[in-house]
Amino acid sequence: MKTLAVLGAGTGGTIVANRMRKRLGKDWRVVVVDPRDQHLYQPGLLFLPFGRYEPEELLRARKDTFRSGVEWLRSEVVGIDGEARRVEFAEGEPLSYDLLVVASGVRLRPDLTEGLTGPGWREKVFDFYSLEGASALRAALSTFEGGRLVLNVVENPIKCPVAPLEFLFLADEYFTRRGVRDRVELVYATPLDAAFTKPQAAKKLGYLLEEKKVHLVTEFMTSEVDGAAGHLRSYDEREEPFDLLVTIPTHSGAAFVERSQLGDELAFLPTDPHTLRSKNIPGAFVVGDATDLPTSKAGSVAHFEAEVVCDNLLLAAKGEEPEPLFDGHANCFVETGWGKALLLDFNYETEPLPGRFPTPWGPFTLLEESRRNHWGKLAFHWLYWNALLPGRPLPVEARMSLTGKELPQETTEQPERAEA
Amino acid sequence: MPTKTYAGVEVPVDDEGYLTDSSRWNREVGQAIAEELGLELTDEHWKLIDFARSDYAERGQTPGLRRMAANTGVGMKDIYRLFPKGPGKLIAKVAGVPKPKSCI
């Protein structure tokens, strides 16, 4: 009996385990390791603070997310012995594997910023990338009658780099509906030098910040947060006052990656950008947010990577070399408020372009707001549980297609790679 | 595509003056870009520039400031002292690699 071990049962790990259970023979065990009882639908965290979802709508019992035949081990991984091909746990016997997929995601690290978890944390300083943070923020927003709301990204990379902007667009709608928008100042403090840093996105979407009246603060690298005084400070000694801070904390890889020193300075795992093979763990592939790849940390990326990794696991099971199939593809809806959204589709080489994205339900508009995109984003919640996680096919290819995209007539940019 | 000439080398640049072909860079080009930006380069500056170049070549993305600090031993406060007014962008420009970007 051989063993495929999958570390982490988030989006990427669950898809890999379910698909591989179908594709590997009865001579293989598929073992998923994750200590948490519930699976969280992370895209819903954006809507939770605005009361558009209840927390329980975003959770499913993890046991119900696996196909029959997938073994689930509720253990905390503490290390990987790559030479012995063994996963070690806090308690219990180590697990020997023939093939390994590391899908251990990221951890939010507010502790890495001075003062961030000090006075005011979850009172006037919130994150919304966790269920606890988003729920606490919901209560705070509902009684916010006016003042300066600052949203800051501490440093990149973060999950879903567009979510901070989406949050501000939805906040504009939310406060307008509550009749207090004219008393709320919305501020976006980013370490980058613009809200839209890719040429076509900047050209097509630059109007949004003005339309939503979001004040932009650029190149703001947060050095410390003082929740009691209500300001954050940057390394170049600028200060931004706030009445309510919504922060996207630093992200790092899993604790066991950090302890075992398998990752980089933020515990992201060195990964081949095209085969998705681990660069330093023999027989292992890496999926989703855990990688150090220059594409977005996003569910769609984890999904496309999972498809490539499944193909390569089958090759590896036969003793063959993996194929360089992954192109950095990401496909993300961006909510802009008032029932509209836009769609982004890009990869390592191609920036998000305008045009149409064909699907069986009709075309979505790329880099352009439409109602259909918004409904697509909401409908995805159902698809996530019922098609994506179980490993059923979705009408989006793992590799990006140029069909429907409008290529810029004249560009001063070389094809480039997405960073965050 | 616009070009600029640094240290006798004609290099393609984007609208903001960042090199669009990292392979056309050499240390004299880096030195000349730094002079244009009013920076006097010391060994500490070069530690950061060299790391940005080697890391970009290996990983295909310009390293963030935390990564540069962790891998060069130059602390964050010192990075801001060496490259005041936006070290992420300044280091990228001098090193001939793309400025830090998001996905859109």
Taking the alpha carbons at both ends of chain A, their separation in whole angstroms is 40
Q: Which residues of B are catalytic?
A: 103
Classify residue B84: in a domain, yes or no. yes
Kindly report, residue by residue over B73-101, the tens digit of the pLDDT: 999 999 999 999 889 999 999 999 999 88
pLDDT for the residue numbered A410: 58
Is the minimum CB–CB distance between A266 and chain B shorter than 8 Å?
yes
Is the minimum CB–CB distance between A162 and chain B shorter than 8 Å?
yes
Subunit contact A419:B71, Cβ cutoff 8 A: no
Angle between helices B43-59 and B65-72 (to 10 degrees): 110
- Which residue type occupies A395? P
Q: What mean pLDDT is predicted for residues B21-31? A: 95
Classify residue B87: in a domain, yes or no. yes
CA torsion angle A367 A191 A130 A13 (round to 10): 70
Classify residue B101: in a domain, yes or no. no
A261 burial level (CB within 10 Å; 0-12, 13-18, 19+): exposed
Classify residue B43: in a domain, yes or no. yes
pLDDT exceeds cutoff 90 at A129:
yes
Q: What mean pLDDT is predicted for residues A131-154? A: 98
Classify residue B104: in a domain, yes or no. no
Q: What is the mean pLDDT of chain B?
A: 93
Residue with the bigger pLDDT between A198 and A185: it is A185
Contacts of B99 in chain A (CB under 8 A): 193, 197
pLDDT for the residue numbered B101: 87
Subunit contact B70:A265, Cβ cutoff 8 A: yes
pLDDT exceeds cutoff 50 at A419:
no
Domain count, chain B: 1
Give the C-alpha separation, B27 to A56, whole Å.
Answer: 57
Kindly report, residue by residue over A360-372, the tens digit of the pLDDT: 888 999 999 999 9
Contacts of B62 in chain A (CB under 8 A): 419
Give the C-alpha separation, A17 to A391, whole Å.
Answer: 9
Subunit contact B20:A414, Cβ cutoff 8 A: yes
Subunit contact B104:A334, Cβ cutoff 8 A: yes
Q: What mean pLDDT is predicted for residues A307-319? A: 97
pLDDT for the residue numbered A412: 46
B82 vs chain A: nearest CA distance in angstroms?
12
- Interface with B, mutate which of A237, A268, A400, A414 (most B CBs under 10 A): A414
pLDDT exceeds cutoff 70 at A418:
no
Subunit contact A296:B88, Cβ cutoff 8 A: no
Range of the domain at B69: 3-95
Give the pLDDT band of residue B15 (cuts 50, 70, 90): confident
Residue with the bigger pLDDT between A178 and A412: it is A178
Q: Which of A95, A79, A133 is nearest to A267 (CA)?
A: A79
Subunit contact A266:B67, Cβ cutoff 8 A: yes
- In 3-state terms chain B splits into helix, strand, coil percentages (rounded to 5) of 50, 10, 40
Classify residue B45: in a domain, yes or no. yes
Contacts of A192 in chain B (CB under 8 A): 100-102
Contacts of B65 in chain A (CB under 8 A): 155, 221
When CB atoms are compared, the residue of B59, B65, B104 closest to A162 is B104
Give the C-alpha separation, A396 to A360, whole Å.
Answer: 10
Is the minimum CB–CB distance between A409 and chain B shorter than 8 Å?
no
Q: What is the 3-state secondary structure (H, E, C) of A145-197?
A: CCEEEEEEECCCCCECCCHHHHHHHHHHHHHHHCCCHHHEEEEEECCCCCCCC
When CB atoms are compared, the residue of A198, A235, A332 closest to B101 is A198
Classify residue B47: in a domain, yes or no. yes
Which tokens hold the place of A412?
A: 């001063």
According to DSSP, the β-strands at A244-248 and A239-241 are unpaired
Which tokens hold the place of A216?
A: 């932009």
Give the pLDDT band of residue A151 (cuts 50, 70, 90): very high
Classify residue B103: in a domain, yes or no. no
Q: Which of A284, A381, A390 is nearest to A64 (CA)?
A: A390
pLDDT for the residue numbered A420: 41
Contacts of A414 in chain B (CB under 8 A): 20-21
A390 vs chain B: nearest CA distance in angstroms?
28
- Which residue type occupies A317? A
Give the pLDDT band of residue B102 (cuts 50, 70, 90): confident
Q: What are phi and psi of A8, to 5 degrees?
A: 105, 130
Is the minimum CB–CB distance between A197 and chain B shorter than 8 Å?
yes
Give the C-alpha separation, A270 to B28, whole Å.
Answer: 32
pLDDT for the residue numbered A409: 74
A283 vs chain B: nearest CA distance in angstroms?
21
Contacts of A408 in chain B (CB under 8 A): none
Q: What is the mean pLDDT of chain A?
A: 95
Q: Which domains does chain A have, with CATH numbers?
A: 2-51+58-107+252-317 (3.50.50.60), 110-250 (3.50.50.60)
pLDDT for the residue numbered A315: 98
A95 vs chain B: nearest CA distance in angstroms?
32
pLDDT for the residue numbered A199: 87
Which tokens hold the place of A384?
A: 């996530």
Kindly report, residue by residue over A210-228, the tens digit of the pLDDT: 999 999 999 999 999 999 9
When CB atoms are compared, the residue of B66, B80, B102 closest to A420 is B102
